[in-house]
Amino acid sequence: MAENQSILIGAHPTIYNGYIGRELRIDFSLPSAGMNAQTGIILLVPGFGGNIDSKVYKKMREELSDGFNMLTVQSAFFGDQFMQSSEDFIVEDIEAYAQKYLTEEEKAYVVGNTDKMIQRLSTIDFILPVKAKLTETENIFNDMGIMQAIDLITTLEAVKILLDGNDLEYNSDQIIGYGHSHGAYLLHLVNRIAPNLLSNIIDNSGWIEPAYLKSNRYLFQKFSEMTLQIEFDYLAKRIVPTEMIFSLDKLYNNFENQANILTFQGTNDNLIDHEYKQKIFSSIPNTKFILIDEKDVDGIKYKSNTHGLNADFLEMFKFAYKVFDEKDKMRKMKREFKNEDEVIIANTKINIDYSNGLPVFVVSGY
């Protein structure tokens, strides 16, 4: 069985205000047979609703590690705690719903007591709009962009430093990013900021641009017979400058992509214009775009053609790995490692200094 490890390191300062009080948790699994020169690295990046403690990701870290001779790694990146559900929320106009749905006797029982109103209303089949009480601050929030990508790059660099420091061999030419939804989008951002880092990217339903930077997120959650419609109004909409919101076409414009990219995209995805996404990837070198229609749903890798494909993550990885194996036999990445690098994306300039171990990022206008 794979060996599981967890470490805490000092996180990169927040680029928005310079805050330095964060820690970055990194969990990883090493193959039970030990590391060798063929052992690759897989970075797992979940989307909304998934995290480092999710059972499915813990299972993946262990099974992919032993099954494919990989070190599998995951981190609790910047603001990901706000990408989950919410147990704390605000109910506006609860009295109006009580008046509409409760009997006179029930109204008399719950009058002036919000908790009792919700408890009684929960026995009725209807949708109750609520607002999530988020504890985001300017120091830590779900930025859906550069800071999250910085944490992911730092995660991989920290693991590489740890392996080198313990004289453990690994294959630096096989570093795979595997992302779902927003996690897949972040891997493209990682690829653009650190173009020599990832050898392969598996994109399952990655969006073209983070939707919740411009509109609110809505999550539907059953509460007994009642359904809560939870609204998330993220702080990032008021903090992240417009010039730091990157769509995929901006990211890959005039960029010589070196990573092998395999994209799985459903035709019935309510968050993504699959035709536009396919058009974007048609102009990016070293990519393969798999469009899943109803007839392509195999019940094994994917069980729907909606957002996320209701995918079996392990089966999807097995398939992707075979595709990569064939492609990698035919080409060799052109990789150029530098102690210092400058990346320009649209109107944003990112300077990266790798000379002192973990990278330091300076972000500015261009």
Rounded to the nearest 5°, which phi and psi values hold at 94? -60, -30
Percent over 90 (pLDDT), the chain: 92
Region 227-254 average pLDDT: 96
Structure tokens at 242: 């417009």
| 220 shares its domain with 316 | no
pLDDT of 32? 95
pLDDT of 325? 79
Is 80 exceeded by the pLDDT of residue 334?
no
Domain that holds residue 218: 89-132+213-240
Tens digit of pLDDT for each residue in 47-81? 999 999 999 999 999 999 999 999 999 999 999 99
Is 90 exceeded by the pLDDT of residue 328?
no
Instruction: For residue 100, count other CB atoms closer than 10 A to its CB.
Output: 10
| 48 shares its domain with 159 | yes
pLDDT of 112? 87
Q: CB-hemisphere CA count at 13 Å for 258?
A: 19
Band of the pLDDT at 365, cuts 50, 70, 90?
confident
Band of the pLDDT at 205, cuts 50, 70, 90?
very high
pLDDT of 307? 97
Band of the pLDDT at 1, cuts 50, 70, 90?
confident
Q: Answer whether 84's CB lies under 8 Å from 37's CB.
A: no
Largest distance between two CA atoms of the chain? 75
Q: Is the entire prediction scored with pTM above 0.85?
A: yes
Measured CA to CA, the distance from residue 295 to residue 268 in angstroms comes to 12
CATH number (domain holding residue 157): 3.40.50.1820
Percent over 70 (pLDDT), the chain: 97
Look at 327 and 138; give whichever has higher pLDDT. 138
| 79 shares its domain with 219 | no
| 115 shares its domain with 263 | no
Is 80 exceeded by the pLDDT of residue 331?
no
Give the single-character DSSP code of 23.
E
Region 220-243 average pLDDT: 96
As a whole number, the mean pLDDT across the chain is 95
The CA distances from residue 38 to 64, 169, 174, 274, 320, in Å, are 14, 8, 8, 36, 18
Name the percent of the chain in helix, strand, coil, to the closest 5. 30, 25, 45
| 222 shares its domain with 300 | no
Region 262-274 average pLDDT: 97
The position carrying tokens 């990032």 is: 236
| 70 shares its domain with 98 | no
Is 90 exceeded by the pLDDT of residue 188?
yes
pLDDT of 329? 52
What is the total count of domains within the chain?
3
Tens digit of pLDDT for each residue in 301-319? 999 999 999 999 999 999 9
Pairing of strands 70-75, 23-30: antiparallel
Q: Answer whether 153's CB lies under 8 Å from 191's CB.
A: no
- The residue from 240, 259, 289 where one domain ends is 240
| 41 shares its domain with 180 | yes
| 288 shares its domain with 321 | yes
| 80 shares its domain with 218 | no
| 11 shares its domain with 77 | yes
Tens digit of pLDDT for each residue in 137-182? 999 999 999 999 999 999 999 999 999 999 999 999 999 999 999 9
Is 60 exceeded by the pLDDT of residue 332?
no
| 179 shares its domain with 267 | yes
| 345 shares its domain with 235 | no
Band of the pLDDT at 330, cuts 50, 70, 90?
very low
